[in-house]
Structure 1
Amino acid sequence: MCRYPEVRKALPILLATRNNDITVLEALEEGSLKENNFDFSSKIMNEENAHELMDFMIGSGLSKLFTDDRVKNLVDYVLGVEVGLDTNGWKNRGGKQMETVVGVFISNAVRKNPVLEYISEATPSAIKKKFGVDLSVDKSKRRFDFAVFNRELRQLYLIETNFYNGGGSKLKAVCGEFRQLNSQLSAQNIAFLWITDGRGWRTAEYSLNEAYDELDYTANLKMLEDGFLDSIFSRN
């Protein structure tokens, strides 16, 4: 990096983004968030910056593109990324990372409360097997990101997470879908939590406010950092 500092300008496009300023949220074990900012347009390069960029490449999985021979032709790879950025396929690519971050908060909340247990990728059959709760949902293949069960209260909490960098009709559609889902679950005495974040919501604030008013629980990452889950999972 120090020898060829211009290389770092190419890193964002390899990660399918045209933003030169990238902020990475890291969920720490104690239940807080650490914000790491990487400026790929900066002309300043020293040994400390080089180490930070290497940590970024390793943490993002970008280094494996080169060490594992996954990319045979870098030009063709970048061209494919550019095409992908102009399609709808990349709109919610932060969703999996969001799920990982939320998973840390859920794991911490469960660890602190002996009457709680949880599973991820929770299907109706997995929920029945783990918690003994029958669940009727709108889609036969519905999979919730997380399911948390309070054994003392006999209360099931189903959780969906997502993160939106950009706006669009998808945001309004998911609000409507989750409002309907919340109604179905409430009729079965099952609590629904929607944890969402991202600057994309600035373009759909009205739809988000409607969902906030109707859903059992709606939260963002800051609320999780402030202990939102601890209070919800203990509520009768």
Structure 2
Amino acid sequence: MEKKNFTEWLSNFRNSISDYKYYINFEKIYDNVDKIKVELNILNSLIGSKDIENEFIKLIKNYPEIIKCIPILLAVRLNEIYCQDDNGGFLYKFNVLQQNVEEKTMDYDNYVYFMKETGLFDLLENHIVNNLIDYVTGVETGLDSNGRKNRGGHLMENLVENYIKRAGFRKNENYFKEMYISEISSKWNIDLSNISNKGKMEKRFDFVLKTSSMIYAIETNFYSGGGSKLNETARSYKTLAVESQDIDGFTFVWITDGKGWFSAKNNLEETFDIMENIYNIKELEDGIINEVFR
């Protein structure tokens, strides 16, 4: 195969690979809200209350399960919250309040204090919100946006896997996800000590493809932004490529993309120059898997 030109290869890198589900997972949001819908409707009775402290105590006496909704009103996914001020500190437990209030009546006052000092009573009694289900849906939407980093990490893997499937490979038959070096060695009786530091390092590859004559170990990533991690990645994959060159029946493959590489292109070019099996998304689209993975 003719040697690729690095500048031309890099020019095809993409700004983004975000799909329509990347930004917000509404299905997850609706499911989280639905799990506490009844309790939120009970708490709705406090909206506009003229005697909110006493009414809150009555509610938690009669419906102690409503206490589990309190953390999400503060955009917190915890069952316990510690707070302190000039009056001292207190660990509020939102999953075992029923037992607490039966044994210690002072807990009522502590939870009233919590609601007051965090501003939740003000939120409710002054009609700042009109419906807690709508409010929590908004909170969950904000919290879910924090999950974009995790979703983004899987976007490139999912994209590459689609092309692997299109090339005719079948999962758990001749392609495998997230395989460790030791698993590869054991499954196909191949010596990978060159890349495992004599068995002391246990690396996991994103995909492993097995053909009649070759094992392809694949790493995938996409970088939309720069950072020191890109230089570290390029250097480590360069080392891996060099260490694996003399292993018969084994090929290390790197599929990467993203304009974040523009800020680390010198390190990427060093790896590109010594690595034959390095590809981008455009090459996937052009059928590189069918062409090379045989």
Could you tell me which amino acid in structure 1 is paired with residue 31 of structure 2? T
In structure 2, relative to structure 1, the CA distance for the partners of 1:166 and 1:95 (3 Å cut) is same
In the other structure, the counterpart of 2:29 is 65
- 1:145 equivalent to 2:203? Answer no
Q: Where do 1:55-134 residues align within 5 Å? A: 56=20, 61-69=25-33, 72-73=72-73, 75=75, 90=149, 94-111=152-169, 117-134=174-191
Partner Cα separation in structure 2 for residue 58 and residue 96 of structure 1: 10
- CA drift at 1:94: 2.2
- CA drift at 1:96: 1.5
Partner Cα separation in structure 2 for residue 128 and residue 60 of structure 1: 40
Could you tell me which amino acid in structure 2 is paired with residue 101 of structure 1? L
Could you tell me which amino acid in structure 2 is paired with residue 144 of structure 1? F
Gaps of 5+ in 2: 1-14, 36-70, 77-138
Partner Cα separation in structure 1 for residue 230 and residue 156 of structure 2: 16
- 1:217 equivalent to 2:277? Answer yes
Aligned residue among 175, 192, 196 for 1:135: 192
In the other structure, the counterpart of 2:267 is 207
Asked whether the 8 Å contact 2:16–2:258 carries over to 1, the reply is no
Percent identity at matched positions? 33
Could you tell me which amino acid in structure 1 is paired with residue 204 of structure 2? R
- More strand by percentage: 1
- CA drift at 1:230: 1.1
SS in 1 for 2:225: coil
* TM-score, with structure 2 as normaliser: 0.51
In structure 2, relative to structure 1, the CA distance for the partners of 1:60 and 1:224 (3 Å cut) is farther
Asked whether the 8 Å contact 1:95–1:161 carries over to 2, the reply is no
Q: Please, what is the CA RMSD of the aligned residues?
A: 3.4
Partner Cα separation in structure 2 for residue 184 and residue 202 of structure 1: 26
Partner Cα separation in structure 2 for residue 79 and residue 150 of structure 1: 45
In structure 2, relative to structure 1, the CA distance for the partners of 1:146 and 1:75 (3 Å cut) is same
Could you tell me which amino acid in structure 2 is paired with residue 204 of structure 1? A
SS in 1 for 2:26: coil
Asked whether the 8 Å contact 1:172–1:204 carries over to 2, the reply is yes
Higher relative contact order (CA 8 A, sep 6+): 2
Asked whether the 8 Å contact 1:117–1:148 carries over to 2, the reply is yes
- CA drift at 1:173: 1.1
Partner Cα separation in structure 2 for residue 60 and residue 129 of structure 1: 41
Aligned residue among 210, 215, 220 for 1:161: 220
In the other structure, the counterpart of 2:292 is 232
SS in 1 for 2:266: helix
Larger radius of gyration: 2
Partner Cα separation in structure 2 for residue 216 and residue 127 of structure 1: 22
* TM-score, with structure 1 as normaliser: 0.62
- CA drift at 1:80: 6.8
Asked whether the 8 Å contact 2:18–2:155 carries over to 1, the reply is no
Deviation digits for residues 60-93 of structure 1, max 9, x if unmatched?
Answer: 53331232238923755688789x79xxx95x86
Partner Cα separation in structure 2 for residue 57 and residue 216 of structure 1: 34
Asked whether the 8 Å contact 1:131–1:149 carries over to 2, the reply is no
In structure 2, relative to structure 1, the CA distance for the partners of 1:130 and 1:118 (3 Å cut) is farther
- 1:194 equivalent to 2:244? Answer no
In the other structure, the counterpart of 1:52 is none
